[in-house]
Structure 1
Amino acid sequence: MFLLGQDSGEPILIWPEFSWNSVINGTIFLVAVLLTAYLVQRYIRRKNSLSKEYKNRILTKLQLHKFHSKDIPLFHSFLDQVSDTDLRRLAEDPAWYRRYFLPEFLQFLADQSNRPAWKDILTIHSLDHLIEDHKGHPKNFITAILKTDSEEIFPALIKSQELDANSLHKELKAVIYTKKGNSPLSLSRYGKIQVLIPNESKRWFRSEAILISQEGNSLNLQIQTSPELDPKIDEDWTDTVKANSIWKDPAVPEEYKNSLLQILEYSGLNASHQGEIVRLVGIFKEHPGLLRRQHKEEDYKILIHLYKACFIKFRAHKASVPKSVLLFLYYFFLDEELFPAKRIKELENAISNFQSSISDLQYSEAKFSIHFFPDWLNLILAGKKKPSKNQLGQSYEQAKKSELRWNQTLEEENLQNKEYLSHILDWELENLLSHGLASISLSPNLSYPISSEDQFYGLTEDNLAFPNHILTQSEKVLKIDPSLFQRQLNDIHSPSRDLETFSKREMYADCILLPYAGNRGILWQDSVEENQSYCRILFPMILGEKLNLIVTKVLGEFRWETERTLRGNKWKEPTPASITSEYFDYIENFRRNPHLTVEAKKRVEQQWEKTGKNIKDMFSIDYANWILMEAEGKPRLNRIAREILSRFVPIQIKPTP
Structure 2
Amino acid sequence: MSVSIEENGNIKLKPNSIIFYEGEKVQNISIVTNGEIDVYISSKDILGIEDENEIMRYSCRLFSIPKNIMIGIGSYKTNSKYMFSFKSKDDTEIYAVKTPNQEYVKTFFKVNKAYLTNMYHSIAYVILKSYEEYIKIKKINDDVKIISANLAVIYFNLQQTKSKNIKSEMLKNYKEIYEDSINSGFNFPTSFDVDFIRADHSEIYMHNKNQFNEEENTEKLEFEIDYVRRFLTMPKNIKTQFFSYDTNMSLDASHMLYETLKKISSLLKTEIVEAIENILFLSSNENESLFGEYVKTATELDKQGKDNDVWVRYIRFMSSIIKDIYNKIKTEYDYDLNIDTEEMDSILKRISKNNVPSSEEANADIDGIDNIKVTIGFEELPSEVKDPTKKLIEMSGIDENKAKSFMKSLQAYRKLRDKFSTEDDVRKIRRGVTTVFFEIYKEIAKRSIINGESSRLVKMFLNFGYMDDQLLTPNQIMDLYEIKDKSKTKKINVFYIDEWLQKIYDKEEPPSVNGFGQDYREALRELKKRGTINDKELEEHWESSSKRLEYEVENMIETTHRLCYGQVSVYFPILHKDMITKDFERALIRRDVMEKSIKDITDIDFSAFYREVLYKNKELNIEKELVMQEVLPNIILMPTFGSRAIMWEELSSRQKNSTGRFLFPIFTSEDLESLLIPTIGAFRWELCKTMLGPAWNDITQMSITSEYSDYVQFYKKNRNLSDEAKEKLKIQIKKCRNNLREVFVSDYNLWIKYESKGIMRLNRVARGILYRQVPFAKNIRDELAKQPMFSEIANRFKNIRSKKATELENRYFKFTKTGNPLPYELQHHIEFYKDM
TM exceeds 0.5? yes
The 2-side partners of 1:86 and 1:565 are apart by 56
The 1-side partners of 2:436 and 2:377 are apart by 28
The 1-side partners of 2:410 and 2:79 are apart by 35
Structure 1: which 5+ residue stretches go unaligned? 1-52, 65-70, 80-84, 123-142, 152-163, 173-185, 195-203, 492-499
Asked if 1 retains the 8 angstrom alpha-carbon contact of 2:151 and 2:290, the reply is no
Write out aligned runs for 1:103-502 (5 A).
118-119=139-140, 166-168=168-170, 214-217=208-211, 226-229=288-291, 231-232=316-317, 235=320, 238=324, 249-250=377-378, 253-255=381-383, 256-285=385-414, 286=416, 287-290=418-421, 294=427, 299-316=433-450, 318=452, 321=455, 323-350=456-483, 352-353=484-485, 356-357=486-487, 360-363=488-491, 368-404=492-528, 408-411=534-537, 413-414=539-540, 420-488=544-612, 502=626
Asked if 2 retains the 8 angstrom alpha-carbon contact of 1:262 and 1:324, the reply is no
Asked if 1 retains the 8 angstrom alpha-carbon contact of 2:74 and 2:80, the reply is no
In structure 2, the residue matched to 1:532 is 657
Q: CA RMSD in A?
A: 5.2
Asked if 1 retains the 8 angstrom alpha-carbon contact of 2:511 and 2:548, the reply is yes
Q: CA deviation at 1:647?
A: 2.0
2:661 paired with 1:576:
no
Matched to 1:472, the amino acid is K
SS of equivalent residue, structure 1 residue 514: strand
Matched to 2:449, the amino acid is R
Matched to 1:266, the amino acid is M
In structure 2, the residue matched to 1:546 is 671
SS of equivalent residue, structure 1 residue 450: coil
Report how many aligned residue pairs link the two structures: 506
Q: CA deviation at 1:250?
A: 4.8
Give the structure-2-normalised TM-score. 0.51
CA offsets 1:571-610 (integer angstroms, 9 cap, x no match): 1121121111222233334455555556555554454444
Asked if 2 retains the 8 angstrom alpha-carbon contact of 1:451 and 1:516, the reply is yes
In structure 1, the residue matched to 2:633 is 509
Label 1:521 to 1:290 Cα distance change in 2 as closer, same or farther (>3 A).
Answer: same
Matched to 2:764, the amino acid is R
CA offsets 1:426-476 (integer angstroms, 9 cap, x no match): 321122222112332554223321112233333433312212111111112
The 2-side partners of 1:326 and 1:406 are apart by 37
In structure 1, the residue matched to 2:39 is 62
The 1-side partners of 2:721 and 2:78 are apart by 40
Structure 2: which 5+ residue stretches go unaligned? 1-28, 42-61, 86-122, 153-165, 175-179, 189-197, 215-273, 292-314, 333-373, 616-623, 787-836
SS of equivalent residue, structure 2 residue 461: helix
After the TM superposition, list the runs of 4 or more consecutive aligned residues in structure 1 that deviate by more than 6 angstroms.
53-57, 85-91, 104-107, 169-172, 186-192, 218-225, 239-243, 653-656
SS of equivalent residue, structure 2 residue 697: coil
The 1-side partners of 2:184 and 2:729 are apart by 22
CA offsets 1:17-69 (integer angstroms, 9 cap, x no match): xxxxxxxxxxxxxxxxxxxxxxxxxxxxxxxxxxxx89989x957269xxxxx
Which of 567, 570, 573 is the matching residue for 2:692?
567
Write out aligned runs for 1:30-45 (5 A).
none
Label 1:490 to 1:415 Cα distance change in 2 as closer, same or farther (>3 A).
Answer: closer
CA offsets 1:245-293 (integer angstroms, 9 cap, x no match): x999557524333232333333333433332232333333323212797
Label 1:544 to 1:430 Cα distance change in 2 as closer, same or farther (>3 A).
Answer: farther
Asked if 2 retains the 8 angstrom alpha-carbon contact of 1:527 and 1:535, the reply is yes
Which of 624, 636, 644 is the matching residue for 2:761?
636
The 2-side partners of 1:191 and 1:149 are apart by 17
In structure 2, the residue matched to 1:522 is 646
Label 1:121 to 1:399 Cα distance change in 2 as closer, same or farther (>3 A).
Answer: same
The 1-side partners of 2:542 and 2:526 are apart by 24
In structure 2, the residue matched to 1:4 is none
Label 1:340 to 1:415 Cα distance change in 2 as closer, same or farther (>3 A).
Answer: same
Q: CA deviation at 1:328?
A: 1.3
Asked if 2 retains the 8 angstrom alpha-carbon contact of 1:564 and 1:580, the reply is yes
Q: CA deviation at 1:235?
A: 3.7
Q: CA deviation at 1:307?
A: 0.8
Label 1:310 to 1:501 Cα distance change in 2 as closer, same or farther (>3 A).
Answer: closer
SS of equivalent residue, structure 2 residue 537: coil
Farther-moved stretch of structure 1 (501-510 vs 374-383): 501-510
Asked if 1 retains the 8 angstrom alpha-carbon contact of 2:613 and 2:656, the reply is no
The 2-side partners of 1:90 and 1:120 are apart by 35
The 1-side partners of 2:78 and 2:441 are apart by 45
Asked if 1 retains the 8 angstrom alpha-carbon contact of 2:631 and 2:659, the reply is yes
Asked if 2 retains the 8 angstrom alpha-carbon contact of 1:373 and 1:512, the reply is yes
Matched to 2:739, the amino acid is N
Matched to 2:696, the amino acid is W
Label 1:558 to 1:468 Cα distance change in 2 as closer, same or farther (>3 A).
Answer: same
What is the percentage of aligned positions where both structures have the same residue? Answer: 21
In structure 1, the residue matched to 2:749 is 624
Asked if 2 retains the 8 angstrom alpha-carbon contact of 1:455 and 1:542, the reply is no
Q: Larger relative contact order (C-alpha < 8 A, sep ≥ 6)?
A: 1
Farther-moved stretch of structure 1 (273-282 vs 230-239): 230-239
Asked if 2 retains the 8 angstrom alpha-carbon contact of 1:331 and 1:451, the reply is yes
Q: CA deviation at 1:149?
A: 5.2
Matched to 1:469, the amino acid is V
Give the helix-richer structure, 1 or 2: 2
CA offsets 1:478-509 (integer angstroms, 9 cap, x no match): 22222222224899xxxxxxxx9855465342
CA offsets 1:618-642 (integer angstroms, 9 cap, x no match): 3223223222333234443343322
The 2-side partners of 1:529 and 1:468 are apart by 30
Matched to 2:467, the amino acid is L
Q: CA deviation at 1:378?
A: 1.6
2:712 paired with 1:587:
yes
Asked if 1 retains the 8 angstrom alpha-carbon contact of 2:689 and 2:705, the reply is yes
Asked if 1 retains the 8 angstrom alpha-carbon contact of 2:561 and 2:639, the reply is no
SS of equivalent residue, structure 1 residue 541: strand
